[in-house]
A and B are shown apart, each in its own frame.
Chain A
């Protein structure tokens, strides 16, 4: 292979600053999208199990609609499709305040919220029906039973799959570069533009994603241990 490696391009010139900027944008968009996904996921996941059909149907519609269309399409939808529907004043304001960031964030959050919802639903459904019945027998309303008993237990059960889903969200934030969000992958391409050293730049991006994901996974493993209810879940190790 006639390719000469030159790793120094990663710390000479502006590369370091770009990577840092990209990293901050990736973290920012992912954190906000994660919050949105968590709220939508918990809400729709819980609604899919409640004993009232219209709510179940609405939640099912949301999940199936948003998770079954590619994320790239959602990016284009929120960036190109939504602004023309806004009133002119709001549109002008948005265009001056990084519409690509907000469109990307909403696309990621809503898409992953639908996927998160399924994880949460499976968590809730793994709780024996008798728990819910016992809660109602104690005099709790359905809402209270969900808020105080069902959802707190479900959230503890689903930490491992939610971790996977969160890591997916972080990595999927790179799709936002298609609508000009200057996140980490975008910045590695930027370095390539200036130095024509694509392999080095992509390697730097890969290492940063890997480090981020391993870091998040280990934090989540700690969260899982910290919040486990003793005696409730059988665990190895």
Chain B
């Protein structure tokens, strides 16, 4: 028994060590397969979600398909197809490390600890955490959640901040937005906290949107970036070029209007401050 165990363990270790020997760079992989594989979400409107027509769409997906993939295709001199895979906060870094996906394009906040494991593109969206509550709820922001039952998304930065700043709040963490929202609808929790823009997206798609309100000042800073494997600067450069060119050409703002404009999935006007921040990230040609 012990000997078998030892053999199995040795085999597992050998395999995991041997794998990198066959590794190619992300760009080589895309050139060989003609496919850019992204990890994205199915339940985070309007960034990435499955719409009523059962299509997998969203702002982040559009950015990849209309800005990043063309930049890579131009560099490689051949068309690049975008393939989507589901990724959630707990799975996205392992999906990258294991080469299952090449780019995380969803709603991932760029943080310093995450930068120790993955590399990020320039910031493509800025938001902050707020609370979704039933209209008339006594919860008005992070100052009023002590002792309350608060739903959050597992593996998100919000849960972490609440745990540190309001340890008396009863956190309930769910793997995805629909489950957390369901818990809120049923009264299992008093509020659902997430990045403000995601709450707007969620409310816009809720059956009785008018029953819900989004409260509180941003209690966190959430700059969204696209994540990729560490130390592949040629690939990261192309991702950044795609995003910068989109901001420069106005394509970015067109897409912004499509998803966050008055007629978009989740109306959320771009503040002049955020617009300026996006433009300042674009380095000269």
Contact = CB atoms under 8 A, between A and B. Distances in A.
Interface in B45-102: 89-91, 93-94, 97, 99
A199 B172 CA distance: 24
Contacts of B157: 193
Interface stretch (A105-113, A136-144, A175-183, A227-235): A175-183
Contact of A196 (B117, B182, B183, B229): B117
A95 B189 CA distance: 8
Contacts of B156: 193
Interface in A80-95: 80, 83-84, 91, 95
Contacts of B90: 189, 192-193, 198
Contact of A83 (B20, B179, B188): B188
A202 interface: yes
Given A178-B179, A182-B173, A196 B116 contact: yes
A196 B154 CA distance: 13
Contacts of B116: 196
A193 B160 contact: yes
Contacts of B97: 1-3, 198-199
B232 interface: yes
Interface residues of A, number: 30
A158 B157 CA distance: 47
Interface string B147-164: 001010011110110000
Interface string B127-157: 0000000000000000000000101001111
A100 B172 contact: yes
A177 B90 CA distance: 12
A80 B174 contact: no
A95 B94 contact: no
B188 A99 contact: yes
B188 A196 contact: no
B126 interface: no
B275 interface: no
Nearest to A189: B90
B20 A189 contact: no
B94 A180 contact: no
A121 interface: no
Contacts of A192: 90, 93, 155
B6 interface: no
Main secondary structure of the interface of B (DSSP, over half): mixed
Nearest to A196: B117
A115 interface: no
A48 to B, nearest CB: 35
Contacts of A202: 94
B175 A177 contact: yes
B23 A1 contact: yes
Given A178-B175, A189-B154, A195-B113, A83 B186 contact: yes
B106 to A, nearest CB: 15
Contacts of B155: 189-190, 192-193
A1 B89 contact: no
B89 A196 contact: no
A194 interface: yes
Nearest to B152: A180
B154 A198 contact: no
Contacts of B174: 178-180
Given A178-B179, A193-B155, A198-B90, A186 B117 contact: no
6 contacts: A1-B23, A95-B149, A178-B175, A180-B183, A193-B155, A196-B111
Report the 8 A-B pairs with minimum CB-CB distance, sorted nearest first.
A196-B117, A189-B90, A180-B172, A1-B20, A198-B94, A2-B230, A193-B155, A3-B97
Interface of B: 19-20, 23, 89-91, 93-94, 97, 99, 111, 113-114, 116-118, 149, 151, 154-157, 159-160, 172-175, 179, 182-183, 186-188, 229-232
Given A1-B99, A179-B179, A196-B113, 20 more contacts: A1-B20, A1-B97, A2-B230, A3-B230, A95-B188, A99-B188, A178-B179, A180-B154, A180-B183, A182-B173, A190-B155, A193-B90, A193-B157, A194-B113, A196-B114, A196-B117, A196-B118, A199-B94, A199-B97, A202-B94
